[in-house]
Amino acid sequence: MLLGLLIEAAMGWPAKLHARISHPVVWIGALISLCERTVNDGTTSTRRAMGSATIVVTLAASIGLAAFVASLLPGGWIGTLLTGLLAWPFIAARSLHEHVAAVALPQEAGDLTCARKAVSMIVGRTPETLDNEAINRAALESLAENASDGVVAPIFWGVIFGLPGIVGYKALNTADSMIGHRTERFEDFGWAAARLDDLANLIPARLTALLIALATGRFARVVSTIRRDARKHRSPNAGWPETAMAAGLGVRLSGPRFYDGLPTDDPFLNADAPDPLPADLTLGLRLYRRTMIIFAASLVAMSLLFG
pLDDT tens-digit series, residues 85-138: 999 999 999 999 999 999 999 999 999 999 999 999 988 777 777 889 999 999
- How many structural domains comprise the chain? 1
* Contact residues for 53 (Cβ-Cβ < 8 A; gap 6+): 35, 39
Buried b (16+ CB within 10 A) or exposed e, 189-203: bbbbbbebbbebbeb
Confidence at residue 128, expressed as pLDDT on a 0 to 100 scale: 79
Q: What is the CA radius of gyration of the chain?
A: 19
- For residue 253, the tally of other CB atoms under 10 A from its CB is 27
pLDDT of residue 261: 65
The reported pLDDT for the residue numbered 43 is 93
DSSP 276: P
How far apart are the C-alpha atoms of 137 and 280, rounded to whole Å?
A: 10
Q: Report d(CA 114, CA 99) in Å as an integer.
A: 13
pLDDT on residue 260? 67
Distance CA 253, CA 246 (A): 6
Q: How many residues does the chain have?
A: 307
Spans in the chain with pLDDT lower than 50: none
Element (H, E) at 268: strand 268-269
| CA gap 86, 71 in Å, rounded | 13
Tabulate helix, strand, coil % of the chain (nearest 5).
Answer: 75, 5, 20
CA atoms 99, 100, 105, 107: torsion sign: positive
User: What is the pTM assigned to this prediction?
Assistant: 0.95
Range of the domain at 137: 2-306
Sign for the CA dihedral angle at 111, 112, 113, 118 comes to positive
Distances (CA, A) of 297 to 4, 88, 219: 14, 18, 18
